[in-house]
Homo-oligomer: A and B are copies of this chain.
């Protein structure tokens, strides 16, 4: 059965990362819904383009059971997300925890592994992540790999290595 994916979109989001996931899902018949980590669905890319998500993360909370997988699309907003959008950050961590505790697939690039770690759902797992945060993650094992698949965690180092992760992600989501 093809799985349904919830996609978390920070504001701003790296458009290259976000749309590598979304176009691959579209082309492979995998349904998804985008959720802004913001108060409204109006967000911007790092590059300044305005776009609209389907909904906001506050409305994903409590509806995690409607989805089989969660993707975290990183962006320049993430380093200051906890300070600038405290409520959305807490909602995001809660949602990630609820997916992870159900053993559902979690995917993302760049700082995604840090959020999975903060949510407590990456214990003992190997992850790919931005080199800057390799020493910051606590309960998972940061690697120098371009991408890593370890159990239900699918991580890529940056948006530039998502192409290497995508085939494994599609196989899992179509399986």
Contacts and interface: CB of A to CB of B under 8 A. Distances in A.
A7 to B, nearest CB: 10
A45 interface: yes
Contacts of A160: 163
A26 interface: yes
Contacts of A103: none
Interface string A159-173: 110010000000000
A34 interface: yes
A75 to B, nearest CB: 10
Interface string A15-48: 1101110111111000000100000000001111
Contact of A23 (B22, B23, B26, B46): B46
Contacts of A27: 46
A159 B51 CA distance: 20
Contacts of A49: 19, 22, 34, 51-53
30 contacts: A14-B19, A14-B23, A15-B15, A15-B18, A15-B19, A15-B23, A16-B16, A16-B19, A16-B20, A16-B22, A16-B23, A18-B19, A19-B45, A22-B45, A22-B49, A23-B45, A23-B46, A25-B47, A26-B46, A26-B47, A26-B48, A27-B46, A34-B49, A49-B51, A49-B52, A49-B53, A50-B52, A51-B52, A160-B163, A163-B163
